[in-house]
Amino acid sequence: MEDRKRGQLIHLLHQAQSEEGYISANAISSIAEKLNISEGEVFGVVTFYKAFSLRPQGKHKVTICMGTACHVRGAPLILDELERTLGIPAGETTEDGLFTLETVNCVGACALGPIVIVDGEYHGQVKSREVRKLLENTGENLNRLKEQ
Ligand code: FES
């Protein structure tokens, strides 16, 4: 795909994601039609960039770094606590659409690991016992998650 078309494609994907919160099947086919390329080509670009999601995202995005430095500093324990508190495995969104939990490999703040990012805000040296508070700071009532 030529550079100019790829640039247009990425622009349209960003636009679709900011409108719908993710890249829907409809968005893929209408972008493919608009740029006169195949849906497979659009899909290939969507899956290449981590910034794009093929599934609806939660209102709050919770990301934990599972890179080597964070891993040795206890990230697996923090991930367990996040999964237990939210009731979902990494990569999923809670049924009520409030939280999406994701993992990444290194966000460049290794000395401060383990790192948890909640709605774009970085938290360093996170301890398991702080996880609930971090989630509650979004303003959501976590007890509702238990009722589902
Ligand atoms: S490994 Fe987590 S910030 Fe680098």
**Tens digits of per-residue pLDDT, 43-70?**
999 999 878 989 888 999 999 999 999 9
Residues 66 and 38 in one domain: no
Residue with the two structure tokens 């981590």: 50
Residues 11 and 33 in one domain: yes
Q: How many angstroms is it from 12 CA to the middle of ligand 1?
A: 31
Q: How many angstroms is it from 141 CA to the middle of ligand 1?
A: 29
Residues 70 and 133 in one domain: yes
Residues 74 and 140 in one domain: yes
Which residues form ligand 1's pocket by a CB distance below 6 Å? Answer: 65, 67-70, 106-110, 113, 115
* Residue 129 forms part of a structural domain: yes
Cα–Cα dist 90/51, whole Å: 16
Q: Which domain holds residue 12?
A: 3-48
Residues 116 and 71 in one domain: yes
Identify the three-state secondary structure at position 103.
strand
**pTM assigned to the model:** 0.78
Residues 65 and 121 in one domain: yes
Residue with the two structure tokens 């999923």: 92
| pLDDT tens digits, one per residue of 7-28 | 999 999 999 998 888 999 999 9
* Residue 53 forms part of a structural domain: no
State which of 63, 64, 65 you would mutate to test the pocket of ligand 1, scoring each by most atoms of that ligand within 8 A of its C-beta: 65
Asked if pLDDT for residue 146 goes beyond 80, the answer is no
Identify the three-state secondary structure at position 101.
strand
